[in-house]
């Protein structure tokens, strides 16, 4: 986990929280990183210059935590293009009167135009917040810059998604989720299975992906949800089917996710895991061998499903696709 510090800032509180510091000093002509990959947070110090702006906009879009101090706070406000809001009592960083002189932009950026000595406590809180969000931040930092082109780039795979969804036993009037729905490529096929009386909600952790889904016409009231698939805001047994493409093996804790998906699925409901290429083909494309630790390998997946409350009904790892169907 690394925090990019642009300019100079007291970093011991950040290091004490177990985060690595990556320094970028404009006066020393340090180049800015080209992307946010591997960066868990950005600190814009009082000595940051407008040269940092090309990274601040993408950080705001991907909700990578930003803490901006002194003149850095002015840069943050400039990048956001709007005024900030006051923290308020429930703000995770400024709440409880920790820094009444601070402001927040969006969900994950904070500015302190007049940093004070007491702000060392704030740095400690920031480090804690960054560590607690690191997995979410990594996902968003990776998928946000890819979101706008996702639908068009992979449009040729849509027929494979339709064929996969058709393997589900969902009936008209039922409720289903597309977890890690991305730009929502599977949503039309899922919605045609459950019909107008049914409900399909696309869930994703990356705001930009849901925005792409809405632009592609897959949105509408209550149809897209920004949430972590490991903590779903639904009661037990709320849905009849879950579709998840290209998701399980991206998750840091697949077993925990499978249990959460089982919790929200009614008895007799189903889970369909899909990828539009087989495991071997995908590994080769990424220049690596298929790992025996792969959570999608049958000897790993079958017991993980069973431990979570699923029964494996179909397992296909063909050159053209990966598809698993499990029943609750
Ligand atoms: C490889 S993409 C697949 C998108 C889509 N299912 C498709 O096949 O086109 C993985 C998606 O899962 C989302 N994602 C990753 N971790 C997630 C989590 N914990 N909860 C919800 N969505 C997550 C990412 O934001 C991304 O949109």
Q: Which of 131, 183, 143, 151 is nearest to 37 (CA)?
A: 143
Ligand 1 atom with the smallest distance to the CA of 181 is: 6
The CA angle 142-144-148, to the nearest 5 degrees, is 130
Q: Whose CA is nearest to atom 14 of ligand 1?
A: 180
Q: Which two tokens stand for residue 4?
A: 């990019």
Q: What is the pLDDT of residue 121?
A: 79
| Distance, CA of 280 to CA of 292 (rounded, Å) | 12
Task: Decide the pairing of beta strands 175-179 and 239-245.
Answer: parallel
Cα-to-centroid distance, 111 and ligand 1 (Å): 30
CA distances from 150 to 25, 61, 79, 135, 321 (A): 34, 16, 25, 21, 19
| Contact (Cβ atoms closer than 8 angstroms) between residue 147 and residue 183 | yes
Q: What is the pLDDT of residue 89?
A: 66
- Domains of the chain (ranges; CATH) run 2-145 (3.40.50.880), 154-327 (3.40.50.150)
247, 257, 261: residue to mutate for ligand 1 pocket, most atoms within 8 A of CB: 247
pTM of the model: 0.90
Ligand 1 atom with the smallest distance to the CA of 276 is: 8
**pLDDT tens, per residue, the chain with 328 residues:** 799 999 887 778 778 877 889 999 877 778 888 899 999 999 999 889 898 999 999 999 999 999 999 999 999 999 988 666 666 667 888 876 666 678 899 889 999 887 766 577 788 889 889 999 999 999 999 999 999 999 999 999 999 999 999 999 999 999 999 999 999 999 999 999 999 999 999 999 999 999 999 999 998 878 999 999 999 999 999 999 999 999 999 999 999 999 999 999 999 999 999 999 999 999 999 899 999 999 999 999 999 999 999 999 999 999 999 999 999 9
Q: What is the pLDDT of residue 16?
A: 80
| Distance, first Cα to last Cα, the chain | 37
Beta strands in the chain (DSSP E): 2-6, 20-24, 41-44, 66-69, 85-86, 103-105, 109-112, 175-179, 199-204, 224-226, 239-245, 265-275, 311-317, 322-327
| Distance, CA of 325 to CA of 321 (rounded, Å) | 13
The CA angle 245-251-253, to the nearest 5 degrees, is 130
| Contact (Cβ atoms closer than 8 angstroms) between residue 76 and residue 111 | yes
Q: Whose CA is nearest to atom 13 of ligand 1?
A: 180
| Contact (Cβ atoms closer than 8 angstroms) between residue 264 and residue 177 | yes
Which residues have any ligand 1 atom within 6 Å of their CB?
139, 143, 180-182, 185, 203-206, 209, 228-230, 245-247, 250-251
Q: What is the pLDDT of residue 76?
A: 94
Ligand 1 atom with the smallest distance to the CA of 161 is: 8
| Contact (Cβ atoms closer than 8 angstroms) between residue 258 and residue 305 | yes
| Distance, CA of 50 to CA of 76 (rounded, Å) | 10
Q: Whose CA is nearest to atom 11 of ligand 1?
A: 180
User: Reduced to 3 states, what is the DSSP secondary structure of residue 79?
Assistant: helix
């Amino acid at each position: 986990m690394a925090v990019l510090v642009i300019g100079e800032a007291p970093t011991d509180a950040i290091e004490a929280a177990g985060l690595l510091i990556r320094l970028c000093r404009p006066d020393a002509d340090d180049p800015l990183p080209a992307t946010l990959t591997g960066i868990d947070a950005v600190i814009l110090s009082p000595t940051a210059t407008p040269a940092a702006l090309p990274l601040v906009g993408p950080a705001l879009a991907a909700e990578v935590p930003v803490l901006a101090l002194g003149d850095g706070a002015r840069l943050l406000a400039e990048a956001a293009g709007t005024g900030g809001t006051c923290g308020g009592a429930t703000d995770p960083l400024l709440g409880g009167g920790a820094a009444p002189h601070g402001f927040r932009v969006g969900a994950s950026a904070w500015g302190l135009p007049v940093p004070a000595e007491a702000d060392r406590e704030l740095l400690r809180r920031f480090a804690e917040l960054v560590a607690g969000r690191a997995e979410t931040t990594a996902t968003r930092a990776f998928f946000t810059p890819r979101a706008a082109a996702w639908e068009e780039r992979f449009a040729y795979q849509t027929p494979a998604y339709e064929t996969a969804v058709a393997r589900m036993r969902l009936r008209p009037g039922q409720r289903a989720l597309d977890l890690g729905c991305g730009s929502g490529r599977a949503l039309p096929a899922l919605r045609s299975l459950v019909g107008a009386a049914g409900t399909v909600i696309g869930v994703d952790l990356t705001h930009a992906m849901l925005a792409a889904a809405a632009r592609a016409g897959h949105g509408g009231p209550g149809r897209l949800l920004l949430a972590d698939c490991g903590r779903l805001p639904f009661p037990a047994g709320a849905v009849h089917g879950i579709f998840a493409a290209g998701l399980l093996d991206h998750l840091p804790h697949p077993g925990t996710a499978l249990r959460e998906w089982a919790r929200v699925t009614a008895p007799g409901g189903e889970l369909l895991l899909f990828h539009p290429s087989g495991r071997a083909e995908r590994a080769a494309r990424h220049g690596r061998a298929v790992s025996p630790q792969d959570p999608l390998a049958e000897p790993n997946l079958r017991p993980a499903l069973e431990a979570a409350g699923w029964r494996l009904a179909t397992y296909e790892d063909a050159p053209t696709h990966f598809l698993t169907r499990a029943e609750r």
